[in-house]
Amino acid sequence: MLKLMAAALLAEGTTVLTNAPDIADVPLMADVLRGLGADVTVDGDEVTIVSPAMPSHHADFDAVKQFRASVCVLGPLMARCRQAVVALPGGDAIGSRPLDMHQAGLRAMGAESSIEHGCVVASAERLTGAPIALEFPSVGATENILMAAVLADGVTTVDNAAREPEIVDLCEMLAEMGAQIDGAGTSTLTVTGVPALRPTAHRVVGDRIVGATWGIAAAMTRGDVTVRGVLPEHLALVLNKLVDAGAKVDRFDDGFRVRQDARPEAINVSTLPYPGFPTDLQPMVIGLAAIADGMSVVTENVFEARFRFVEEMVRLGSDARTDGHHAVIRGVEQLSSAPVWSSDIRAGAGLVLAGLVADGVTEVHDVEHIDRGYPDFVAQLRSLGGEIERVSD
């Protein structure tokens, strides 16, 4: 969603995004765009963005410090303004996410780019299409390079591009705006630059990570949950893992149902870029493993600091240890309540789910992280039968 909001900067005029999630990051991104000269209105699940004839090229620290996705304005600003100053973003504490590949892609297209005084500073007299090979299929780098390339001169090819459904959604929106992109959903994107784009109306793809969180919650609690608005093919590996854990999974055109009747069985998971198991679901699958029958091994191949979540699970009575990129979890029949602290969006959600299968009352602190990725999290859990309330400090 946030990358689509940034893409609206690529065309002067009014772009409308529907099916927008009611999460805290949307108004934060709206503030970033307003700081660049856009007029943004958020009305329920509809976001209207009026992009100016020439955006400001400077996204300051106050606007971008709260979340990582703000760096996605770098590509559109380079495409429209041929210059950009974007403060290094903040966001979740899940490990190092350098901008080297973002900058390397812009340099390949003829830009100069450096880190100065806490900002990414980039400029170019013109952007020219070029062959670009990513060292890793980074979602953020793929998005920024793609959005810079759509208005560059000539043809840009991006090899080892990210293939996530969100990348495909961005490509579809850009195509609606008049961009020429081939290879969406594959590891090679070919972009033929065009002189200008036009605004559009676009429906945002359903959030597969949120949908899968509810599916894993059903498996953890021996519940029965139906999720609508998410394409099951975007979660093929995740749903198969839930079947391995003993769940019954039904797939529909626009969703899926997960039912778990008995204690989950242990599963092994390795996180990888799409179509692999999403790193964003690692905390939830560790929560599932914590109460599963047997020993599970979870391998983290994307973000090195994400295992700090395991320390909080140990507070809840999980029999878990980490060794480098691996976490070994021996399931226990029930977790025990304790105060725990969330370090990021997914860790927060994972700890809440763990609290549902712990005895007594579990307190999850720093839950403002959860608001950034999950709409109406507490209300949704209550509607599913969870005993949960949100309290102020």
Q: CA–CA separation, 213 vs 352, rounded Å?
A: 11
What count of other Cβ atoms lies within 10 Å of the Cβ of residue 187? Answer: 14
- DSSP collapsed to 3 states, the chain: CHHHHHHHHHCCEEEEEECCCCCCHHHHHHHHHHHCCCEEEEECCEEEEEECCCCCCEECHHHHCCCHHHHHHHHHHHHHHCEEEEECCCCCCCCCCCCHHHHHHHHHCCCEEEEECCEEEEECCCCECCEEECCCCCHHHHHHHHHHHCCCECEEEEECCCCCHHHHHHHHHHHHCCCEEECCCCCEEEEECCCCCCCCEEECCCCHHHHHHHHHHHHHHCCEEEEECCCHHHHHHHHHHHHHCCCEEEEECCEEEEECCCCCECCCEEECCCCCECHHHHHHHHHHHHCCECEEEEECCCCCCCCHHHHHHHHCCCEEEEECCEEEEECCCCEECCEEECCCHHHHHHHHHHHHCEECCCEEECCHHHHCCCCCHHHHHHHCCCCCCCCCC
Q: Across the strands, what pairs with 126?
A: none
Q: CA–CA separation, 282 vs 275, rounded Å?
A: 15
φ/ψ (deg, to 5) at 211: -60, -45
Which of 31, 39, 92, 319 is labelled catalytic? 92
Q: CA–CA separation, 222 vs 244, rounded Å?
A: 14
Cα angle 174, 175, 181 (rounded to 5 degrees) comes to 95
CA 230, 232, 234, 238 dihedral sign is: positive
**Active-site residue 293, yes or no?**
no
Residues making up the annotated binding site for UDP-N-acetyl-alpha-D-glucosamine are: 68, 280, 302
The residue whose two tokens read 């600003």 is 77
Q: Which residues are catalytic?
A: 92
